[in-house]
Structure 1
Amino acid sequence: MTFYEEQNPKDISISQILPALNKFLPNTNKNDIKFLYHGTYNVFEVKNDFIFRIPDESLRNTKGIQLIQREDKILKLIKPHLSILIPDPVFIDLTRNTPLMGYKKIPGISLSKFIHKIDNTYLIKLAKSIGRFLNQLHNKKLVKIYTDNFGVDYTNFIDSYHDVWEKEYREVKSIVWSFVEDYQKAWIQTLYTRFLSKISDFTFEPTIVHGDFDTSNILVDPISCNLSGIIDFEETKIFDPAVDFLFFREGKLFLNELMATYNGVIDKYFVERMQFTFSRAFIPYILYGANNNIPTLIEAGLQLLSERMTIFP
């Protein structure tokens, strides 16, 4: 299983980042640096022991600096409450042209690289471990910690939840429509209108969510198949806990075991919210690609749309 980010080339050269890296790791040279992938951040492994993340070119500005500061704050808040390893930033540079975050590399490889080769016994074990991680992340005490530190008021969460998806649907009709065929428009329209019509019946409690919780951000020991870490928390926020369960491509056994281990509330609309969030995952690719003139990102979004239409026709 591959992701666009894993195939997307870096948009900053190693020569450009060397001076910034040498501030923290003196005598670093080009041979010490290995490019890994490029999504919101260009991600590099340095000296086989550290991970450095430099924002995408469109975010090497005040917005990118704020993104780094926010994620660093979130990681420090949630780390004491999690038993699994997550990034612990020790290097931060807020220089405008090359802002970056660096942390000690967490052992393991992305689950996306080998999940379909794992024996069912180990797959069940891994799903249970991931379920226990979500039990800790979605714990109510973390919601209070988050709100106390970020000043977020979620007392009218369902109203704001509706507004999030209604606003996105307006953007879809304004921007995405020009890239899709009529039969795709009909599928997207049905997806959003059906979901928006049901939100008033939702009563779930929001939790802290990872927000980008797929197999590329789950690190596993490839020998023991033990969960070794979770990465990439830039989308972490208070939101719908269902968005952290979008494992429809990984097989029923994995998803069922994950949900069976979860001790949060799985209400009658939980799976429907999972399916909606999974189905609309192509939208950010097309929107960001269109707004930043990145044709390859638009194409990746269209390919994802075709896949999601096949999974949930």
Structure 2
Amino acid sequence: MKRHKYSAYVTSIEEQCKDLNVDSVQKLGKGWMSMVLKINEEWAFRFAKNKRASADLDKEARILPVLSTFVSAAIPQFKYYGKQKDGLVFAGYRLLPGEILKEDSIFSFSPENRKVFIIGLSQFIKELRAFPVEQAKAHGVPQLDLHCFYFGLWKEVRKHVFPLMEDGLQKYISSRFHDYLHHPVYTEYTSLIHGDLSMDHILIDPETHRITGIIDFGDLAICDPDFEYRYILEDCGKLFLESLLNFMGDQNSEDRITKISYFVTFDHLQYILEGIRRKNSSWIQEGMEEIQREMNKNGWQIP
């Protein structure tokens, strides 16, 4: 066991989880917010890397036990919960059944397996929407005003990102914000959403392609239900999202996909801003390239 890499994390576990002897450690994932380790081939431990991630884990600890009675798929149930030496929290749960998807996994599915997956995904989204909003609020789930959030993002983009952009990209981005912020139906929020429903947070049975589990509920929020679909559009494409919306019985799928595409644009801009804050030139370049590809794909012409 390579304890030297993860000794601080292992120490936190051994000091606070007295009934768990750490025999093996593997990295499951690492991002801006958390480090995730597999312990003894049986447990997943998430360690917050900043205050926001710590607050998100605390929110999950409160809401997930209640939410588990509303959803069919397995979701994390924290058995272990503690604090690291820096005061940030960590939590451990038994690994969920199934295999985690990759961002592009859906493109290898057969039509039949894609349909099975869509049925399971739509069921999970509907189950979340059915969760009482007031109960979610009582367990610490925030209500997100997307109009206010994106208005603030728009100001940040003009200040920090526009100086790095050519005139054509600036005009494209300006048009995206204008169209979203001035469309009245785009300001509604009505239900509980996962908030980070990308393919790599979904587990399936590799034989049947049925969804077996969903992970990473740190971005749970109450807001516009269409905000749930932004990573699905980005990871799986427009045709898949159309099929999902149609299966769920949602109306005006074309208009809604247009709205969801704005969320994808804004995510790229947040990625660029994060690159600027961290002085990471590769993130800035990657975000710029994504927006350029998007603009070209949309056939947008500079007025």
Answer yes or no: same fold by TM over 0.5. Answer: yes
Q: CA RMSD in A?
A: 2.6
Alpha-carbon offset, residue 261 of structure 1: 2.8
Aligned twin of 2:6:
14
Q: 1:254 aligns with which of 234, 240, 261?
A: 240
> What is the aligned counterpart of 1:206 among 171, 177, 190?
190
Aligned pairs (5 A) from 1:86-105: 86-97=75-86, 99-105=89-95
Secondary structure (helix, strand or coil) at the match of 1:68 reads helix
Counterpart residue number, 1:9: none
Q: What does residue 195 of structure 1 align with?
A: 180
Q: CA deviation at 1:169?
A: 0.4
| Aligned partner letter, 1:210 | H
Aligned pairs for 1:88-237 (under 5 A) are: 88-97=77-86, 99-112=89-102, 114-139=105-130, 141-150=131-140, 160-198=145-183, 200-202=184-186, 204-237=188-221
**CA deviation map 1:59-106 (0-9, x unaligned):** 1xx444323212222323322111111111111112342631211111
- Please report how far the alpha carbon of residue 180 of structure 1 lies from its aligned counterpart in structure 2 after TM superposition: 2.9
Shift of 1:123: 0.5
Q: Which residue of the partner structure matches residue 41 of structure 1?
A: 34
Shift of 1:307: 4.0
- 3-state DSSP of counterpart to 2:154: helix
Following TM superposition, by how much is the alpha carbon of 1:170 offset from its aligned partner in structure 2, in angstroms? 0.5
CA contact (8 A) 1:132 1:261 kept: no
Matched, 1:55 2:48: yes
**Alpha carbons of structure 1 residues 46 and 301: separation in structure 2 relative to 1, 3 Å:** farther
Contact 1:124/1:254, CA 8 A, preserved across alignment: no
Shift of 1:302: 2.9
Q: Provide the residue aligned with 1:4 in structure 2.
A: none
Shift of 1:251: 4.1
> Structure 2 vs 1, CA of residues 171 and 120 (structure 1 numbering), >3 Å: closer, same or farther?
same
Amino acid at match of 1:165: Y
- Residue 83 to residue 163, structure 1, CA distance change in 2 (3 Å): same
Gaps (5+ residues) in structure 1?
1-11
Match of 1:239 among 209, 220, 223: 223
Work out whether residues 186 and 259 of structure 2, in 8 Å CA contact, stay in contact via their aligned partners in 1: no
Q: CA-to-partner distance for each residue in 1:217-242, whole Å, 9 max, x for gaps?
A: 11112222111111111111111110
- The answer to whether the 8 A contact 1:34-1:44 is kept is yes
In the alignment, residue 124 of structure 1 is paired with which amino acid?
K
* Aligned amino acid, residue 96 of structure 2: I
State the distance in 1 between where 2:81 and 2:282 align. Answer: 30
Q: Percent identity of the aligned residues?
A: 20
Tell me the CA shift for residue 263 of structure 1: 5.1
Query: What is the Cα deviation at residue 121 of structure 1?
Result: 0.6
- Structure 1 residues 285 and 70: alpha-carbon distance in aligned structure 2, compared to 1, 3 A threshold: same
2:58 is the counterpart of 1:72? no
1:22 aligned partner, one-letter code = E
Using the TM superposition, give the Cα deviation of residue 168 of structure 1 relative to its aligned residue in structure 2, in angstroms: 0.9
Deviates more, 1:19-28 or 1:97-106: 19-28
- Does structure 2 conserve the Cα–Cα contact (< 8 Å) formed by 1:65 and 1:94? no
Return 5+ residue gaps in structure 2 as ranges: none
Letter in 1 for 2:260: M
For residues 30-62 of structure 1, give each alpha carbon's deviation from its aligned partner in whole angstroms, at most 9, with x where no partner exists.
xx1111222221122111111111123xx1xx4
Q: Is the 8 A contact 1:49 1:104 kept in 2?
A: yes
Match for residue 8 of structure 1? none
Quick one: structure 1 residues 36 and 193, their matched pair in 2 at CA, closer, same or farther if it must change by over 3 Å? same
The number of residues matched between the two structures is 289
- Please, which moves more after superposition, 272-281 or 223-232? 272-281
Q: Measure, in 1, the Cα distance between the counterparts of 2:252 and 2:127.
A: 16
| 2:34 maps to 1:28 | no
Cα distance in 1 between the residues matched to 2:277 and 2:152: 16
Between stretches 293-302 and 237-246, larger displacement belongs to: 293-302
Shift of 1:265: 6.6
